[in-house]
Structure 1
């Protein structure tokens, strides 16, 4: 602990919002998010770290009902293709609810911005750091939404070229996420994909090593 630490109550709140964040698919139909809260959430996203301070994120708020339906159609087509690619788990996948595009209060498309190739700082050998930076912005938005009592779901089941054409996104930009945002009936105590028995989250100990890739890092508390 250092003199720069937040208070115990503030620290507990930070860890709680991280632990209770969920990828949400079910929303309260007909609900709204105030403009004031939306601005706060987007400011939180915009405060994310980015390599070389390039700020590669672009947020497109979808307020046109027709566009929302078109985006849903693009996602649903890819949902069927994904099911086909899953082979023996096809029916199991089709039974999952994988998005809340038509029900959520707010819909955003997040894209990698145009002109990214001009940013070399931190990307010369790792050009994918632009996507890493956008992911940080999405995570900031996600955590801020949870703190406000709102749910958010990240939808990645779509053809980026079709979505880009639909939204007039420039050729050197790229959509990477559809975000469903709004009030939800509840927040489950476990990830939805665990509840739906699609998969099970693995413990931290399987993802931490010491000095070399396969050398376990035996630290107390990392087994869960």
Structure 2
């Protein structure tokens, strides 16, 4: 089978999806995701690259309303603890909506599976490469959801030990995220944290170095970064 060749229209569509991806916290309630759509999104996640082809990701679809409620309560507990840790920004943080667990159409948990002993590509960084591989699957999930015009939010406010126990994960497994998926009223023009002036992202040219960490990029590279500057 010949390798696919992408024309300019297809390339632009990919870049548009990447630029339009957002971390979504507001969902339309009482909606559903069609089974075929969910299957496409999860298939895209599973097509992610992984170090040593270890495929360390496991997805758990949360269908039990009681389990969903328990996860929402666990996230709320961590939200309040995070607020305490933020001291002077506590009030500002508490005004933020950080998740849509109760109202999203689909709820998924991303679990990093117990180490299967893969050595290829990860001998010196076994855990880090497993996490990085799971992150690739998460990004595919996010981009596929956006391509389907569905919102997706990554929730990390939880005690991993509690979630591990709640979801019956085996020893050595580790939850990396709870993902809220579903129809939304709109996609924000900018990341939420920028919209509320919590934090602003750096431009690519400020993070692109030459030959060593911290070395400024050459003019040609800076121009390239500016030419391809897009929203994130």
Deviation at 1:222, TM superposition (A): 2.2
CA-to-aligned-CA distance 1:130-169 (integer Å, 9 cap, x gap)? 0000000010010010000000000011100001111111
Unpaired runs of 5+ in structure 2?
Answer: none
Partners of 1:20 and 1:26 in 2: CA distance: 16
Please state whether the residue corresponding to 1:110 is helix, strand or coil.
strand
What residue in structure 1 maps to residue 118 of structure 2?
Answer: 119
What residue in structure 2 maps to residue 167 of structure 1?
Answer: 167
Partners of 1:94 and 1:88 in 2: CA distance: 12
Partners of 2:225 and 2:50 in 1: CA distance: 28
What residue in structure 2 maps to residue 59 of structure 1?
Answer: 59
Deviation at 1:221, TM superposition (A): 4.0
Partners of 1:162 and 1:4 in 2: CA distance: 44
Deviation at 1:197, TM superposition (A): 1.4
Partners of 2:88 and 2:7 in 1: CA distance: 51
Partners of 2:97 and 2:4 in 1: CA distance: 43
Partners of 1:167 and 1:188 in 2: CA distance: 32
Deviation at 1:4, TM superposition (A): 6.7
Matches within 5 A, 1:14-163: 14-114=14-114, 116-127=115-126, 128-163=128-163
Partners of 1:176 and 1:4 in 2: CA distance: 33
- Over aligned residues, Cα RMSD in angstroms? 1.2
Q: Which of 222, 225, 228 in structure 2 is aligned with 1:222?
A: 225
Partners of 2:224 and 2:212 in 1: CA distance: 20
Deviation at 1:203, TM superposition (A): 0.4
What residue in structure 2 maps to residue 198 of structure 1?
Answer: 198
* Poorly superposed stretches of 4+, deviation over 3 Å: none
* TM-score scaled by length of structure 1: 0.96
CA-to-aligned-CA distance 1:1-58 (integer Å, 9 cap, x gap)? xx97511110010000000000000000001000000111110000000000000000
* TM-score scaled by length of structure 2: 0.93
Partners of 1:41 and 1:32 in 2: CA distance: 14
Distance change (3 Å), C-alpha of 1:4 and 1:44: closer
